[in-house]
Amino acid sequence: MGYERIDKPEGKLYHYTKRENLEQILKDGRIRKFKDRESWFCNSLENTLRLMEMTVMQEGNLYYDVYGFPRHYPPFEAEDYVILELSPRFQNGDWVRWNQEFPEGTPEEILRCGEEFSRLKLGFRGDLKFYPDPQIYEVSELLAEQKQDIGITM
């Protein structure tokens, strides 16, 4: 299936990034595509955290970078990440979804995981401009709240 064009999402968008990128993002007033054809967003804070669980929180697990080279996720440090709640401004670009592709005979569990992964991400082909002063969430605080909500003490 690969890429599929989708309608422009309505409302707020969420984007996670390393804290080290935050100053430049705020200065630019846009999320720039990164070594890829598009930049990626989610339509809720919950979906963003789930996407992070499936990617950057997978410490040591294998993934393929944007050039197709195998890599391993580095240690995850929640303090190194923030999530921006963005109100998009006028944009010039296409919205897409990447549908994970799997070979015939792939186990059902992996197919379901790939479908969930594909549905979490909204791709924008271009640099997404946003209105000033976005809400910024600390990932470490969000994860601590999640643990508290389900009764896990730290």
pLDDT at 36: 63
From CA 73, how far away is CA 59, in angstroms rounded? 5
Task: Please indicate, yes or no, if residue 48 is contained in any of the structural domains.
Answer: yes
CB count in 10 Å sphere of residue 15: 21
- In terms of residue numbers, what domain contains 82? 2-149
Query: Is 114 inside any structural domain?
Result: yes
Instruction: Establish if 56 belongs to a structural domain.
Output: yes
> In this structure, is residue 154 part of a structural domain?
no
The candidate with the shortest Cα–Cα distance to 28, out of 125, 123, 130, is 130
Domain count, the chain: 1
Q: What is the pLDDT of residues 64-122, one digit of tens each?
A: 887 889 999 999 999 999 999 999 997 788 999 988 888 899 999 999 999 999 999 99
What integer is the mean pLDDT of 48-59? 96
d(CA 50, CA 36): 22
Residue 50 lies in a domain: yes
Residue 88 lies in a domain: yes
